[in-house]
Amino acid sequence: MDFETVIGLEVHLQLNTATKIFCACRNDFGLPANTCVCPVCLGLPGTLPVLNRMVLRSGMKVGLALNCTINTFVKFDRKNYYYPDLPKGYQISQFDFPIAKKGFLDFITGGQEKRIGITRAHMEEDAGKLIHDDAVNATLVDYNRTGTPLIEIVSEPELRSAQEAYDYLSALKLTLQYLNVSDCDMEKGSLRCDANVSIRPKGEEKLGTRTELKNMNSFSAVKRAIEHEAERQARLVFSGGSVVQQTLLWNEEKSVTVPMRSKEQAHDYRYFPEPDLVPFTLTEAAIAAVRGELPELPFVRLRRMVAQYGIMDYDAIILVSDRAFADFFEAAALTGVDVKSLVNWMNGPLMKELKERRCRVTDLKLKPLDLAALVRRVNDGTISNLAAKDILADIVDSGKDVDLVIREQGLAQVSDEDELGKIVDDILKEHPQVVEQIRSGKANAAGFLVGQAMKRMQGKANPKILNEFIQRRVMHV
Amino acid sequence: MITNETVKYIASLSRLHIEEDRLPVFRAELESILQYIDQLAKLEVANVPPTSHVFQMENVFRDDVVAPSLTPAEAMSFAIDQHSGHYKVPKVIE
C-alpha cells in the first residue's frame, strides 16, 4: 500500500513592536533576566491588560498578506493551563473570533506553483522562558518574554511532503519579512513552527490520526522531523499497529521524535472570553487603509518581474528573496541598462560581495545607479569583466563613481590602434614562428600572441579587439 | 450529570486539592450551576445579539510607547525563591 503524508503547520511569529502586547514593557530579546517585567505581564492581582494598537495593525497586515478575511469583530479569550512559564495561569489568546481567517499562500515548490490554505491567524501573548537547572535542582523562570506579541498562523492540512512544508515555510517567512512586522529569526525564536503530521493510504479522503511535532529550531529541522515522523507512522501501520494521537518532541542530536510526558499534554484549556479586555470592531475603511499600505508581496512581485523584464523564474526567485535586493535591481533597471546583464551582475558578483560581507544591499555604499553604470561600461567595452569585478569590490564599500575609479586606476581597455599597434608589432617580431603558423592557416595560434600582448598591457586591452587586430597585422604586414 | 470523577478532574486542572468527603458538596454546587445554564438555554434569544462582554465598550487601545519596567529588586520582591535574577520554582521536567 502506498501512503501519502498529510501535514499542517502552526507558525508562531513574534512581532517587532516597541512594547509588549498588553503592557508598556520593552519588547526586546537578550536582555538580563526579569528586567522587562511589570505588574501586568507578571499577572499581579488588580492589574488590567490594554491592547497595543500596533499589534492589531500587524495582525491585520499578516492576515491581509495571507489573503485572509479580516474579522470585523475581534475578541480575546483565556486559554487556561498551569505551568510556571505562565504567571497568570492562563494565556490571553483568541478562540472563536481571531483577527483573520480563510486565506491562502501561493509559492513555488518542485518547480510548480502551489496554493496552501490558511485556516486562521490570531493574536496572543508569548509565555516566559524556563531554564531547567540541574546545578540548583530547580527550574528557573525568566518572564521577559511573557507578553511578547505573537501572531499564530495555522495552515490547512494540505502539505504533502516534508519538502513542501519546507518550501511553504520559506515562502511564508519571505512574505512576513516583506511586511516588516517581525525579525523572523528562528534562532532567536521570533519564528517558531510546530507540525501536525499524519499518513493515509493514497486516494483515501479521511485524515489519519495525527501527531504534533514540537521543538524544531530550523526549517531543515522541521523537514527532517516530518520525514522521520512520516516514516515512523508508516512502519507502525505496516507492522499492524496504529498511530496514537500525541505530542512529540524532536531531538535534533539523535534525529528522533520523543513523546512528551502525558502530564504536559492535558489539552483541556477551558477557553472563555477574556473579561479584562473589551472587544474590537474593525471598519471596512480601516481594513482597506491597512491593505493599501501593504507592499507588493514576493510571489506577486516574482510573477510581475518575470513578465516585465523577461527574466527567468530562477533569477527572479533570487532577486525577490530580499525585498531590498529586488528594489535595488528595479531602481538600476530604470536607467535603461541591459536587464539581462544587470541580473547576472546582481545575482553573481554583487551577491558574492554581499555573502562575503554577510550584509544586505542596503548596508553597502553602492547605489543602484553605480551598478547600472558599471554594467554599462562593461557592455560598451570600456572595461573588461575582470576589471569590472575589481571595481565592484571597491565601490561596494567606497561608493565611488565608476568612471572616476576607471580613470584613477587606469582600468579602461586600450582600443587605441596606435598604442595597440606598437605593442603588437613588438610581439610579432619576438615570435616569428607563431606568425608563420597563423599565416599557414592555424588561426587559433593567435591566442598565444593575444596572451602575450595582454600581459604586456597588464590586462587593459580589450581581448576581442586585440585578437582582430593581431589577425589583421599578421595577414597584411 | 456531574460525577465525583468530574469534580476531581476539574480540581486537578485547577491544581486544587479536594478531600474525598468534600466531593459531594462540590458536585452538588456544580450541578446547580449547570441546571441554571440549562434554564438559560430554554430562553428565547433569537432576537438578542450575542454578548461577549458586559460593558458596552469597544476598541480600547494603548499606543506602542515604552514605559519603565520594574527594577530587578522590585521584580524579585514577589519571589518566594530566587536564583541569579530568576524566579526559582520546583523542577517541572524530570
Chain A residue numbers with beta carbons less than 8 Å from the beta carbon of B88 are 136, 138-141
- Give me the pLDDT at residue A277, please: 96
Asked if the C-beta of A39 comes within 8 angstroms of chain B's C-beta atoms, the answer is yes
Asked if the C-beta of A43 comes within 8 angstroms of chain B's C-beta atoms, the answer is no
Asked if the C-beta of B49 comes within 8 angstroms of chain A's C-beta atoms, the answer is no
Cβ–Cβ under 8 Å, residues A439 and A410: no
- Give me the pLDDT at residue A374, please: 96
Q: Order of strands, edge to edge, in the sheet holding B86-89? A: A129-133, A138-142, B86-89, B82-83
Asked if the C-beta of B25 comes within 8 angstroms of chain A's C-beta atoms, the answer is no
Q: Please state the rounded mean pLDDT for residues B16-33.
A: 94
Cβ–Cβ under 8 Å, residues B62 and A18: no
Q: B59 vs A281: CB contact, 8 Å cut-off? A: yes
Asked if the C-beta of B53 comes within 8 angstroms of chain A's C-beta atoms, the answer is yes
Asked if the C-beta of B52 comes within 8 angstroms of chain A's C-beta atoms, the answer is yes
Which amino acid is present at A427?
I
DSSP-assigned letter for residue A350: I
Give the distance from residue B14's alpha carbon to the nearest chain A alpha carbon, in angstroms.
Answer: 7
Distances (CA, A) of A414 to A220, A362, A391: 51, 34, 17
**Distance from CA of residue A301 to its chain's centroid?**
14
- Give me the pLDDT at residue A163, please: 98
Residue A423 CB contacts under 8 Å (≥ 6 apart), including other chains: A453, A456, A457
- Give me the pLDDT at residue A441, please: 81
Cβ–Cβ under 8 Å, residues B53 and A273: yes
- In the block, which residue shows the cell 460525577? B3
- Give me the pLDDT at residue A463, please: 76
d(C-alpha A321, C-alpha A298), whole Å? 8
Asked if the C-beta of A130 comes within 8 angstroms of chain B's C-beta atoms, the answer is yes
Chain A residue numbers with beta carbons less than 8 Å from the beta carbon of B55 are 278
DSSP-assigned letter for residue A2: -
Chain A residue numbers with beta carbons less than 8 Å from the beta carbon of B62 are 19, 24, 50-53
- Tell me the average confidence (pLDDT) per consecutive run of 10 residues in chain A, 477 residues long: 93 98 96 96 96 98 98 96 93 97 96 96 97 91 97 98 98 97 94 97 93 95 97 94 92 91 67 95 97 96 96 95 96 96 97 96 96 95 89 94 88 71 84 86 82 80 78 75
In order of start, what are the domains of chain A with their CATH numbers? 3-289 (no CATH), 296-408 (no CATH), 417-476 (1.10.10.410)
Q: Which of A397, A378, A181 is nearest to A294 (CA)?
A: A181
Q: What are phi and psi of A200, to 5 degrees?
A: -155, 155
For the cut 60, the answer to whether the pLDDT of residue B94 exceeds it is no
Element (H or E) spanning A177, and its range? helix A162-179
Distances (CA, A) of B21 to B1, B17, B27: 19, 12, 11
Among A34, A56, A278, the residue with its CB nearest the CB of B53 is A278
Among A39, A52, A268, the residue with its CB nearest the CB of B13 is A268
Higher pLDDT, A387 or B60: B60
* Chain B residue with minimum CA distance to A72: B59
Instruction: Kindly state the cell numbers that stand for A472.
Output: 589583421
Q: A139 vs B90: CB contact, 8 Å cut-off? A: yes
Cβ–Cβ under 8 Å, residues A170 and A186: no
SS3 A194: strand
d(C-alpha A62, C-alpha A289), whole Å? 14
Q: A53 vs B62: CB contact, 8 Å cut-off? A: yes
Torsion of CA A266, A269, A270, A275, to 10 degrees: 150
Q: Which of A176, A209, A143 is nearest to A61 (CA)?
A: A176
Rounded to the nearest 5 degrees, what angle is found at the Cα of A181, between the Cα atoms of A28 and A106?
140
In order of start, what are the domains of chain B with their CATH numbers? 1-45 (1.10.20)
Among A38, A82, A270, the residue with its CB nearest the CB of B70 is A38
Q: A140 vs B83: CB contact, 8 Å cut-off? A: yes
Q: B60 vs A277: CB contact, 8 Å cut-off? A: yes
- Give me the pLDDT at residue A262, please: 56
- Give me the pLDDT at residue A155, please: 98
Instruction: Kindly state the cell numbers that stand for B17.
Output: 486539592
- Give me the pLDDT at residue A266, please: 57
Asked if the C-beta of A34 comes within 8 angstroms of chain B's C-beta atoms, the answer is yes
Q: B69 vs A279: CB contact, 8 Å cut-off? A: no
Burial class from Cβ neighbours inside 10 Å (0-12, 13-18, 19+) for residue A267 reads exposed
d(C-alpha A141, C-alpha A146), whole Å? 10
Give the distance from residue B17's alpha carbon to the nearest chain A alpha carbon, in angstroms.
Answer: 14
Q: What are phi and psi of B12, to 5 degrees?
A: -70, -35
Q: A141 vs B75: CB contact, 8 Å cut-off? A: no
Interface test with A, best of B86, B89, B93, B94 (most A CBs within 10 A): B86
Q: B59 vs A280: CB contact, 8 Å cut-off? A: yes
